[in-house]
Amino acid sequence: MTGQRPRFPRAISSAEQSKRHDAKFRGIENSIAQVLSGADLTQSSTEVIPERALVFEVIGPLSNVARFVSAARDAGFEWLGEDFVDDADEEEDEDGQGEETTEDESAPDSGQNMLYVTMPSMRGLQKILSLWKQYKAGNTKPKTDDGQWWPLFSYLSDIRTWSPKDRVDPGLSLFVDKMMRKFPDRPIRLELDLWFRSDPDLREAAAGYVSELMTLVEGSVLDFVTIPAIQYQAALVELPNQQALLLGSLEGPLSTADRVMRVRPQSLYTSESGDAAKQNLNVRAVPPTPDERPPVVALLDGYPVENHALLRNRLRVSEVDVHAVDVPVVRRRHGTAMASLILHGDLGDGVPPIDRVLQVVPILGAPQNLAEECTPPGKLPIGMVYRAVMALVEGLDGTAPQAESVVVINHSICDTEAPFSQRASYWAKLLDHLSHRYRLLFIVSAGNSLEPFAVNAYVDCHTFETADTVERQIALLSALDKSKASRVMLSPAEAINALTVGAVHGDSSTGVPAGVIDPFDTVSGVTNLASSIGLGLNRAIKPEIVEQGGRQMARSDDDSGYVLAWASEHPDVGQLTAAPGIGVLLDQVRRSTGTSNATALTTRAAARLVDVLEEVFDGNGEDWLESDTRAVVLKALLAHGCAWGAAGDILYELYHGKALRKKEAISRVLGYGRPDHSRVSTAHGSRITLLADDKISHNILHEYKLPIPRAMISNRELRRVVVTLAWSSPIDPLTQRYRGVRLEVVDRNGKRDFWKGIKRILAPDGRAARRGTLQHLVFEGKNLIQAGGAGDFFLGVQAMAEMTAFEKVEVPYGLAVTLEMGQPVRTDLFTDVEARVRAKRVDVAQRIPTRVRS
């Protein structure tokens, strides 16, 4: 990959830095002297002492963080991680057509202040004082690892302890106020994220430390989870209201607890209670016995009604944290609906069911004092997800794996108290780790934004309700765009290895019930009112795809000269699914909407594509289920049929600004668009799809020479090439760069100028597509690339490690390429290309394996 390195800020002279910071270092020296003389400085949270997190704030990321981390550890500092100072997003001002790749597309902005957080020992503090004195005296930078401190000193903006402002989540005060209004007589439940220590003994002692803290504030510990793979250790605690209020004001013992990294609202998913179910008049035949093939799809959700007429002999339930006796049948709404959508789709569409058994691990309960299903209030959801997945793939407590054949995991739940905010949540880190470690594909919902938003085009509800339908649609789309800051995805939707799904306004229901407003027509393909938006981590495209999530009606209210609008469900509108009944009724159905539904339908599409992949791999004498690339190949195919379509055209005309900004705004809503899966699974004479998969590591280029159909060479009709690349990346949970390896689709020159006259259709910007683990590119043009005598189309897949630690790591990828003619042709492209692909499988220049499907 070619390109330029990012520009780093100019270093400040040692003389200037001495004027700015020497007083702080003298303060550290004084603190050390007091500690060595026996003084107890633990009650003063601003004193720099051993075993208290120390923050180095610098005016931009260091050019070689890995070497600094090594030097810091050698000097006696435990590395706790890096963070950045919140700042407005920088605007980009040029499009990415045919541009060279840059070295640090996913790196933190080079002009952004960074926080490097360490845990110092006494030896470490003494060492840094010695090095500082050498630096301020103007001594030459040492050639040893000690020299790595010189750039830090030159860029240093501040050196301080981890403060209550760092420790207490900015949204905590609002959460505490909300919970006290809702449940005034109950204690408040919060999460304490602890500093993850490299010493197992210190981690072991952490539980005791939290218990002592709770004794001090008269609280209690409800749950405690440690997951070393993502550097996570946390406690769910219950606090008296007064202590929670103190935290909201950055006061109290917890705000200065040295071993606590962050105090934040309890992670909790709560589903909507929904409307009453109705009898299903078209119950499908129940299979006499379950399908004997091992399950490949799992559902982490609510407990389903196993004996429902639509689900009987189609499910296999594994109980880990939630048990049947804990969830009354009549309240098993969400899991039943998700299982129904995965197996049957929207019942109103009348599509055939999936025969393969669906594995289910319930993680939603139904507490007696709540009307809704939710993650059990006394447990950390991340711990439940971790145990659920481990039970499937490895087994718990010495037991055998319950479904190690599972590849796809439907994850339609999210943290309703944690909108994504630039940093990867631990929940997302867990999904990313599990994805890469166990070759899994998590299909995750973007989450629903149900809060009212302002529609300034109307002064009152009457004018809103009686407005022209097209005019009102434009006004609502514009209002949604203006309120995007409050409608962001809910964690863990930012997980980079997961496929995140938004919801399109559409379902099998017809007409509009009296007295309600249908905000959008279903032809436009825009998302429904509640579908949350991206972007993702480091401005990656999220959600990647959108799928039908039901029609949501618009409700409104007057508010001082303008209208507040919000999404609302109606019992006669939405996607039709199985539902729990009362007593012996086991054939009930109801309608519902949301990103959970869209996610379930995407999982259903994945299950269908598994059949295709098993057939294709089997044709090459291989077992898809055992392949290292199984999840990424499936991910690539799920996105391969994506396009913005009419929705993209509508939004492009509506949004303001330069082309790049308009594309980014559309990407926030639609991702790569809604997929047409039939383009992958159904044969057609005018197009052919080639599939490649392999593993690749740093600085390696895999070259593919794909045979161009003769019909595409011999005429001047429009040609379209669709390229989708998906991979799974390891992560570094302690850095903001986070993604370990990035891949790139390139031409022979390391660019994307595949042929003369190439043009990109209206789609996400090419640079934005580089920031995640999925790239989907559609090229059109009448001229063909230089084909050479053999008539080959060249595609390269190139890898680059984002961090030194991942340079030896091989990552799996899947590459799908469709060659298509704009008009039907006499020659079947599949027949033309298949023999040429098969014949070249022994050619080293053409990567193996390469598979062909029309």
Beta strands in 463-571 (DSSP E): 499-504, 545-548, 553-559, 562-568
- The reported pLDDT for the residue numbered 411 is 98
Give a yes or no: residue 25 inside a domain: yes
**pLDDT value of residue 90:** 42
Sheet strands (E) in 195-258? 220-227, 232-239
Q: Are residues 103 and 133 in the same domain?
A: yes
Same domain, 302 and 188: no
Mean pLDDT, rounded, for 561-577:
95
Answer yes or no: are the C-beta atoms of 196 and 79 closer than 8 Å.
no
Could you tell me if residue 672 is inside a domain? no
The predicted pLDDT at position 112 comes to 66
Residue 749 confidence class, pLDDT cut points 50, 70, 90: confident
| Band (681; pLDDT cuts 50, 70, 90) | confident
Three-state DSSP class for 224? strand
User: Where is 356: in which H helix or E strand?
Assistant: none
- Strands lying side by side in the sheet with 811-821: 759-760, 774-781, 719-727, 811-821, 687-696, 850-853
pLDDT at position 71 over 90: yes
State how many domains the chain has. Answer: 4
647 touches 514 (CB < 8 A): no
Question: Would you state the pLDDT for residue 509?
Answer: 93
pLDDT attached to residue 784: 55
Distance CA 516, CA 495 (A): 36
pLDDT tens-digit readout, 102-122? 444 445 444 568 899 999 999
HSE-up of residue 795 (Cα within 13 Å, Cβ side): 26
527: DSSP letter:
B
For residues 720 and 776, membership in a common domain is answered with yes
pLDDT tens for 787-820 read: 444 567 788 999 999 999 999 999 999 999 988 8
Closest by Cα among 723, 724, 729 to 697: 729
Averaged pLDDT for residues 295-304: 98
Give me the chain's average pLDDT, please. Answer: 89
Share of the chain above pLDDT 90, in %: 74
- Structural domain includes residue 657: no
In a domain, residue 508? The reply is yes
Is 393 in contact with 401 (CB distance < 8 Å)?
yes
What's the CATH number where 397 sits? 3.40.50.200
Pick from 27-41, 81-95, 664-678: least confident: 81-95
Residue 177 sits in the same domain as residue 106: no
Distances (CA, A) of 251 to 246, 255, 677, 763: 5, 6, 54, 49
pLDDT digits (tens, 9 = 90+) for 162-185: 999 999 999 999 999 999 999 998
Residue 716: CATH number of its domain: 2.60.120
CA distance from start to end of the chain: 32
Q: Positive or negative CA dihedral for 564, 567, 571, 573?
A: positive
> For the ranges 92-101, 287-296, 754-763, 823-832, which has the lowest average pLDDT?
92-101
Q: Is 375 helix (H, G, I), strand (E, B) or coil?
A: coil
User: pLDDT per residue over 500-554, tens digit each?
Assistant: 999 999 999 999 999 899 999 988 999 999 999 999 999 999 999 999 999 999 9
Distance, CA of 436 to CA of 570 (rounded, Å): 40
At 255-289, the pLDDT tens digits run 999 999 999 999 999 987 666 667 776 777 889 99
Instruction: Note whether 693 and 733 are same-domain residues.
Output: yes
Asked whether residue 146 falls in the same domain as residue 212, the answer is no
What region, left, alpha or beta, does residue 300 occupy, with left being phi > 0 and alpha being psi -120 to 50 degrees? beta
For residue 630, is it within any domain? no
What is the distance, to the nearest Å, from the Cα of residue 13 to the centroid of all Cα atoms in its chain?
A: 41
Per-residue pLDDT, averaged over 569-575, amounts to 95
In a domain, 720, yes or no: yes
Same domain, 205 and 66: no
Model confidence at 831, pLDDT cuts 50, 70, 90, reads: low
What is the per-residue burial (b if ≥16 Cβ within 10 Å, else e) of 419-443?
Answer: bbebebbbbbbbbbbbbbebbbbbb
Domain boundary among 142, 162, 182: 162
Q: Which two tokens stand for residue 488?
A: 């962001």
pLDDT tens, residue by residue, 415-452? 999 999 889 999 999 999 999 999 999 999 999 999 99
Q: Which of 416, 388, 391 is nearest to 404 (CA)?
A: 391
More confident: 752 or 47: 47
User: Does 4 or 606 have the greater pLDDT score?
Assistant: 606
Give the domain-ending residue among 162, 178, 195.
Answer: 162
CA distances to 113, 204, 853 from 225, in Å:
32, 11, 46
Residue position matching structure tokens 């107890």: 40
Residues 745 and 774 in one domain: yes
Pair 142, 86: CB distance under 8 Å:
no
DSSP string, 780-834: EESSPP--TTTTEEEEEEEEEESSGGGTT--EEEEEEEEEEESS--SS-HHHHHH
Judgement on whether residues 236 and 298 belong to the same structural domain of the protein? no
441 lies in a domain?
yes
Q: Are strands 114-120 and 156-161 parallel, antiparallel or unpaired?
A: unpaired
Which residues, in sequence order, are CB contacts of 421 under 8 Å at separation 6+?
A: 488
With H, G, I as helix, E, B as strand and everything else as coil, classify residue 350.
coil
Using alpha carbons only, what angle is made at residue 538 by residues 533 and 539, rounded to the nearest 5 degrees? 40
Distance CA 441, CA 580 (A): 29
pLDDT tens for each residue of 585-595: 889 999 999 99
Residue 577 has pLDDT above 90, yes or no: yes
Q: Which of 63-67, 210-214, 267-271, 386-390 has the lowest mean pLDDT?
A: 63-67
Neighbours of 84 (CB within 10 A): 17
What range defines the domain where residue 589 resides?
279-449+488-550+571-619
531 and 405 inside one domain? yes
Higher pLDDT, 79 or 843: 79
Work out the pLDDT band at 844, boundaries 50, 70, 90.
very low
- Determine the distance from the C-alpha atom of residue 824 to the mean position of all C-alpha atoms in its chain, rounded to a whole number: 39
Query: Is residue 215 located within the same domain as residue 118?
Result: no
687-696 and 850-853: which strand pairing?
antiparallel
Q: Is 423 found in the same domain as 318?
A: yes
Return the number of other C-beta atoms located less than 10 Å from residue 354's C-beta: 20
For residues 661 and 595, the answer to whether their CB atoms sit within 8 Å is: no
Residue with tokens 């040295």: 258
Q: Is residue 459 part of a domain?
A: no
Q: Evaluate whether 355 touches 584 at the Cβ level (below 8 Å).
A: no
Instruction: Give residue 267's Cα distance to chain centre.
Output: 16
Task: Choose the final residue of a domain: 232, 265, 298.
Answer: 265
Here the CATH number for the domain that contains residue 178 is: 3.30.70
Question: pLDDT tier at 687 (50, 70, 90 boundaries)?
Answer: confident
Burial class of residue 676 (count of CB atoms within 10 Å of its CB; 0-12, 13-18, 19+): middle
The residues with which 235 forms a beta bridge, in sequence order, are 192, 224
- With cut-offs at 50, 70 and 90, classify the pLDDT of residue 3: very low
Share of the chain above pLDDT 70, in %: 88
- Backbone angles phi and psi of 823, in degrees to 5: -125, 150
Q: What is the per-residue pLDDT across 360-405, written as a single tens digit (0 to 9) for each? A: 999 999 988 777 899 999 999 999 999 999 999 999 999 999 999 9
* Whether pLDDT at 140 is above 90: yes
pLDDT tens figures, 614-641? 998 998 899 999 999 999 999 999 999 9
CA–chain centroid gap for 358, Å, is: 23
Burial 175-214 (b: 16+ CB within 10 A, else e): bbeebeeeeeeebbbbbbbbbbbeeeebbeebeebbbebb
Per-residue pLDDT at 92: 40
Stretch (H or E) spanning 662: helix 659-670
- Residue 793's nearest CA partner among 695, 742, 727, 722 is 722
pLDDT band at residue 9 using 50, 70 and 90 as cut-offs:
low
